[in-house]
Structure formats: C-alpha cells, structure tokens
Structure 1
Amino acid sequence: MKKIVVLVLLVVFSISCKKESAQEKEQEVSYMDSITSDISKIYRQSDFNGFTVSIVNDKGTLYQQGFGYADIENEIPYTDQTIQNIASVSKVFVGVALLKAQELGKLKLDDPINNYLPFKVVNPSFLKEVITIRHLATHTSGIVDNEFYLSKNYILKEGTSTIDSSLCFDDMQIFNPSDSIISIEEFLQNVLVQGGKWNTKDTYSKYKPGAMYEYSNIGTTLAAFVLEKATGERFDVFTEKHILEPLKMKDSGWSFQNVKFENYSKLYADKKRVLPFYHMITYPDGGFITSAYDLSLFLTELIKGYNQKGTILNKESYKEFFYPQLKEANFLERDENNPYNESYNVGVFIGLGFSGYIGHTGGDPGVASLMFFDPKHNTGRIMILNTSFSGQKGSQDFYRIWDVLKKYQGKLEN
C-alpha cells in the first residue's frame, strides 16, 4: 500500500514539475516576444538601418535578435550572424591577450615597453620616466592620439575607389586609398619616435607616465605591438589561437580576409548614405570584426572569469584583469552621469563604470557598439549598430533600446 502511495505521489510530482516547466517556458517566450516587440517599435521610428542585440549570463545566451537591414538596397536582414567591426570594444581583446601572454611567461605588465620595442618610445618632457605595459593598459602612458591617428589610419578596402569626404565622422578623419596601407610598426614609429614624420608636440601629454588617465587608441595598438615582439606572433594570430578558437568564435577575425565577407553588413553614415568599406592600420584598438552570436560567447566567458570560472585565463589573470587599477588622483574628471562609460576606472583594457557595470563602448564611422555586464546579477548586454547617429534623438533611441534589454534581462534569468 505504501509503495502505491509513493508511486502516486511521484507521478503527481512529476506532472506538477512538467507543468511548472512548461509555464516557465511559456513565460520566457512571452518575455522574448515582448523584447522584440518593444525594440521593433523603437526601430521603426529611429534613424537606424540595422543592428543586433543580445542578453547573456554566465551560462550562455538568453536572448539574441537582429533588427532592420544589413543592406537596405538589397533588403538583406541584419541577423545575429551578421558581422561588422565593433570599434573600441575591440580593446577588451587586447587586455585578455596581454594577460594570456603574461600567463605564458612572455611578458609582465610592469615591464618597460622599451624592453621589447625595436625603436625607443619616451615622452620628451620626461626622458628618465619609464613607460610600462601596465601604463598602456590603463591609459596612463602619456601617449595620446594626435591628428594623424584620424588622417592616416583609416584605409579603404581594396577595390574601393570612390571617397566622399562628407561621409567622414570627424573633421580630421580621412578615408585613405587602399594602396596607402603600411605596417603597424611603421605607423607607430612615424607617430611616436621623435623626428618621425607624424610625430608632433601633441603626441605626448604633459603628465608623466602613470600619473593621469588619458584615453589612447595609439597606446592600445602599441600594447598589441609589444605583445607581438614579446611572443614572436602577430597579434591577430595570437588572439585567434588563445581566444577565438577556444571560445568557438568561428565568424570573427581582425581582417576582411579572415571572415566570411558575404556576411559583412554595409555601414551607413546616416539612414540613406552608404559608407565605403574600410579597415585600420591600428586594427587592435578598434578593428575587430564579429557578430552578436560570437561576441555573446566572449561576454559569457568574461562573466565566468569574473566569478573565477573562466576557461581562457586562469583565476589570477582574471583577478588582475578586473581589478580597479587606478585611484581618484589619476583622473582629471570622472563621469558619474553615464553608467555605461568605461572611463570611471579601468581594469586591464576594460572599463569599470561608477555604477558597477563592467565593459566597453565603441564608435567609428557607421558603428556604435556597447558590451557591458552587471557583476551583481551575472547578466550582460550587447548592442552592435551599423549606422552613425548624432544629436539628441539618435542618442535617445540608442539608449532606449539598451534600456529595453535591461528591463527584461533579470526576468529572463529568473
């Protein structure tokens, strides 16, 4: 008799669990439909052509969806498999790569950069002060972006000949012909070495190395170049081996040749004007090409790493990666109005917002990107956009979409 009662109870419990599971699944689908509906409404009245969004946690992707078009003229939808460059969110990969190189015994963050470089880099105002890899990784090296970063760095894809200067996103920014490409080493030497043809009084700041936070794209690329010299491998090869392949980021890479270009989104200066395809000489600071699908794999790994469960770096490396590297005295000003600003404090090439969010922003011609996670709840968000925007309306629409993801991320997790 007791066995029969137990069996009946088990059957009832099993049916109850299945009902609860079905109800939870229905609720999850309902939330996903609501996210898609809410974002679609914003998209329809926005000036954006195409974008993709994602919500992840430490277990994987919770929601992922593309909106609009990767190619308006040919009506090709923007999907979670669409690829494009993501601008400065790329810098996070430089940080992870540096710590992997340190794990492998190839360098140490506190090493002087001139231990590795084939040319000497020194701030002429502080000739006896050493610039370290950590200074580069925390934007305190004193190296800043002079005018030639924008005017010489952006290169048209081979086969692209038409250049409309009105498409540039900055008065100093120029799309240079494809045959003007030079190596990272030559670019850095031209800019950083005294007497170099692009070296100006604005190349170095008035602050000594380690003293003050000053965001530096050139400093980021210099860090990647130091890694190349320390490891004996090109930066793109090193990151593919130690980051992309282990995480199965199969659709990502650092050049047009290393991705399926047929999946590349067109980029737009505004709702109607198409930008030419371009890449950068200093590609480590902003030239990573990826999809929302692949970048979600990376963000999930970062959340795991924050919780000491990562797979591509060891526990000590992840602790260093996320550790707040700077103090109040290292900042001239700190933005406490925008929670998604990587310039309140930094880890190793990753931003630590005043509100606790961890991640990075990105912006380039035809590109706006965000990748942040909330360490308190182990959930993160991604947005990748293929259209430049300016003004209050563009910013409002962009962050309205971002806020929709925030609204539902906790509900999907639960």
Structure 2
Amino acid sequence: MKNLYGLLLCILMLNLFTAQKKQSQELEKTQKELTDKLTKISKTASFNGFGVALVNDREVLYQNGFGTAGIKPFKKYDEHTVQNIASVSKTLIGIAILKAQELGKLKLDDPISRYLPFKVINPQHPDIPITIRQLTTHTSSINDNNEYLTRTIILKDTTNLADHLKIDISPTKFNPPSSRISIEEFLNNVLTEKGKWYSKDIFTDKKPGELFNYSNIGTTLAALVLEKATGMSYDAFTVQYIFEPLQMTHSGWNFNAINFSKYSRTFINKQTPYPYYSLNTYPDGGMLTTSENMSKYLLELMKGYYGNGKILSKESYKEYFTPQLKAENFEDRSTSEYSDEYNIGISMGFGSTENFGHTGGDPGMNSVIWFFKDKKMGRYLIVNTDWDKKATGKDQKAIYDLLDEYFIKLDIISRAEN
C-alpha cells in the first residue's frame, strides 16, 4: 500500500511539474511576442529609449527596456538602465510618512511647526497651521514660485558649463554644481521670511487646507519634516523602509547610490543629449531607478491596494489610497480619464474613473505609473527624450495599446490553475 501511495504521489508531482513547465513556456512565449512588437516600435519612435513594466496583483508580468540610452558611445536601453523618474518619485513620500506614523514618530494631522527648526507660515493666514497631511495632498497653500523653479536643477559637473547654463529649459533652468545645498538650507532660503530667496508669492492667498495647488516644494518640505521627526535623512529612511524590503537594489537618490555606467542620458531630441543633472529638492522628483526595480515597486503598490502589501499595514495602505479631497477643494478640476489630479490620496493621484497613479516630467524625460483597479493591472512607462507634440503621443499610445493587449494574455496565464 505504501508503494501505491508513493507511486500516486510521484505521478501527481510529475503532472504538477509538467503543468508548471507548460505554463512557464507559454508565459515566456507571450513575453517574447510583446518584446518583439515593442522592439519594432522602438526603431521608429520619436524618443531614443524607453522602459516598461506590467504587474497584476500577484506578480510581475513583464519588464523591459528598448532603444538607446546613450549615443557617443552607444549604450542600449534595457530593463537595468537607470533613469530619473521625476514626479513619480512623490508617491514614495506618502509611503514614507505613513511608515513614520506607524513607527510613532509623527501623525498626519500634526502641524509641521512641531518638527521644523524654522517657521513656515502663510503670511496671509498666520494663525492657521500647515499640517503634514496638507503637504502630502497639495493643499498646504505653498506655491512653486520662480525662486523655487529656477534654483532646484543642478548640473552634475562643470563640463561645458557656460554652454550648458544657457540651455533653455523654461520655466526652470540649470545651475552650476556649486549651487548644490541641502534640502533644509534650500527650504529655509525659500520659505522663511528671513530667507535670502523669500518672496510672498511662495504662498497662495488661500487658507492652508482649502484648495488643491500642486506643490513640488511642499513635497520636499514633507520630506524635511520626516527627517526631523525620525532623525534620519529622507534618503536613508526610504532605503531602509522601501528599497531594501522590496529588494530595489538599483535605486537611489543620487549618482553615488547607483551604477552610473547604467545611467541613461536624457535628450533634447534624438541627436542631442542634455547634460547630467539632479535636484536640490530631490524628494519631489529625484529618484533614480530601473524598469526592473520599478516593477517591484508597482507590484507592492498593487498588493497594498488590495490589502496584501508588506511595507505598510492594511490600515496605512487604506489611508494612502483613500481620496482625501472634495469638489470644493478644486478651482479647475481635471476630469481627464488619465489625469492624476482629479483627487489625491496621501501623495497618490486619482483620475475621474477612480483609477490611480502619477505622472512625471523633467528635461529630457517623461514617466507615468497607472493602476486600473478593476483589471488589477499596474503599468509603467518612462521615456528619455523631450516630448514631441506631433509624434510622442502617437508612440505612447502604440506602446500603451500593446501593454494593455498583452496584459490580458499574461494575466490569464498568471492566474491559470496548475
């Protein structure tokens, strides 16, 4: 009888192995089909290089990179190519703040004055405190004025410095490497009345908490609040509590934290690269990562939405993904299906369809993460070349159409019973 049971177990295991192998082969075949079609698009696209990722609520379905990351010398863009992701970086601040709250270091509705070494108050509403929640929902009344816009982008080195400083990237501009300062010094200079770059238009005339007004500098201020509350730099905190748990080993906030040989150039057009640059206010848009690492991040966000994330508790993820604002919090509310400014969670944007995500753009690049809750689908696209009004939208749609088509195929395989 024991021999019979043993034989039946062997047959069962063999059938299971055969089914898994068949499923794996089908997955690889479907992924290759998608790779071949995206490769074809890359050969005629209006941008030099791009990266993509697809996830469902269970696993990473696809990740890859295509085209060119460098011209002289030539460098291929692949899933391990490192690139800055611009404002998609902001989605990490909500996670970091909620993690700090779980650790008992702060609370979302605390006034920021409890933690900061200097005063940040709207001079038109001096008696209304600004809160951490308001920073993460862009309702703090802090405004991205000209002083912020023209002082945050810093060149990596002094190569061809005079020429690079003249490049038009309006409304921002490049600054020399000597302009690099800490986020604390930068914010003190811009936001406080005695700061050397202070002007009253750094605040709107609205009360804190009253109106949505997208604020890059407000996001960086939230990062500084976290630093003062936890005693850790924002860089170190996100590495410990986000990158390391997700094994995002090729992600960071500065050039020293990543393999620079894998870093992509960004391009004005297909022939002309921008100089390398980073941000004084790095928390609002300076994350450096790969498509392979972003697929892990997308998967965590998707799992977190459905209550299975590992970075935050279910309660924290519920807060993160809960739209925080009402109609009266908007003056000009975007109802576009793919806008990330119809509503907002704790730094995560929502469209009018209640799907969610975030977009980003800096000189020579555009990025977007977007999640379709009914399909349980997460999608990532990043390009390394300035937007061409005539061609880039068409290329982007072609990529999205392929990703959407192949998500269905890959998702079916992923969910197939063994």
The two structures have a TM-score, normalised by structure 1, of: 0.92
What code does the residue aligned with 2:255 have?
A: F
Post-superposition Cα deviations, 1:389-410, rounded to whole Å, max 9, x if no partner, equal: 1313212212321232122112
**Is contact 2:49–2:385 with CA below 8 Å preserved after alignment?**
yes
Post-superposition Cα deviations, 1:130-189, rounded to whole Å, max 9, x if no partner, equal: 110000000000001001222111111135343545985632322111111112111111
Question: What is the Cα deviation at residue 264 of structure 1?
Answer: 0.7
- Asked if 1:262 is matched to 2:261, the reply is yes
Post-superposition Cα deviations, 1:91-132, rounded to whole Å, max 9, x if no partner, equal: 011110000000001000000011111111111111111110
SS at match of 2:371: strand
Q: Distance in 1 between matches of 2:260 and 2:223?
A: 25
Structure 1 runs not aligned, ≥5 long: 1-5
- Asked if 1:408 is matched to 2:406, the reply is yes
Post-superposition Cα deviations, 1:193-224, rounded to whole Å, max 9, x if no partner, equal: 12422222321112111111110000000000
The alpha-carbon distance between structure 1 residues 157 and 360, as it changes in their structure 2 partners (threshold 3 A), is same
SS at match of 1:32: helix
The alpha-carbon distance between structure 1 residues 12 and 186, as it changes in their structure 2 partners (threshold 3 A), is closer
1:243 paired residue number: 242
2:42 paired residue number: 43
Question: What is the Cα deviation at residue 240 of structure 1?
Answer: 0.7
Structure 2 runs not aligned, ≥5 long: 413-418
- Asked if 1:329 is matched to 2:315, the reply is no
The alpha-carbon distance between structure 1 residues 358 and 291, as it changes in their structure 2 partners (threshold 3 A), is same
The alpha-carbon distance between structure 1 residues 168 and 305, as it changes in their structure 2 partners (threshold 3 A), is farther
The alpha-carbon distance between structure 1 residues 115 and 162, as it changes in their structure 2 partners (threshold 3 A), is same
SS at match of 2:161: coil
1:131 paired residue number: 130
**Is contact 2:46–2:388 with CA below 8 Å preserved after alignment?**
no
1:304 paired residue number: 303
1:278 paired residue number: 277
The alpha-carbon distance between structure 1 residues 130 and 9, as it changes in their structure 2 partners (threshold 3 A), is same
**Is contact 1:167–1:275 with CA below 8 Å preserved after alignment?**
no
Between stretches 78-87 and 39-48, larger displacement belongs to 39-48
What code does the residue aligned with 2:250 have?
A: D
Within a 5 Å distance, the mapping from 1:6-25 to structure 2 comes to 24-25=23-24
What code does the residue aligned with 2:360 have?
A: G
The alignment covers a number of residue pairs equal to: 412
SS at match of 1:28: helix
- Asked if 1:75 is matched to 2:59, the reply is no
**Is contact 1:340–1:361 with CA below 8 Å preserved after alignment?**
no
**Is contact 1:168–1:365 with CA below 8 Å preserved after alignment?**
no
**Is contact 2:305–2:321 with CA below 8 Å preserved after alignment?**
yes
SS at match of 2:202: coil
2:179 paired residue number: 180
1:366 to 364, 367, 378: 364
Post-superposition Cα deviations, 1:206-253, rounded to whole Å, max 9, x if no partner, equal: 211111111000000000001001111111011111111111111110
The alpha-carbon distance between structure 1 residues 382 and 197, as it changes in their structure 2 partners (threshold 3 A), is same
SS at match of 1:176: coil
Q: Distance in 2 between matches of 1:126 and 1:14?
A: 70
**Is contact 1:167–1:269 with CA below 8 Å preserved after alignment?**
no
List 4+ stretches of structure 1 deviating above 6 A. 6-20
**Is contact 1:160–1:277 with CA below 8 Å preserved after alignment?**
no
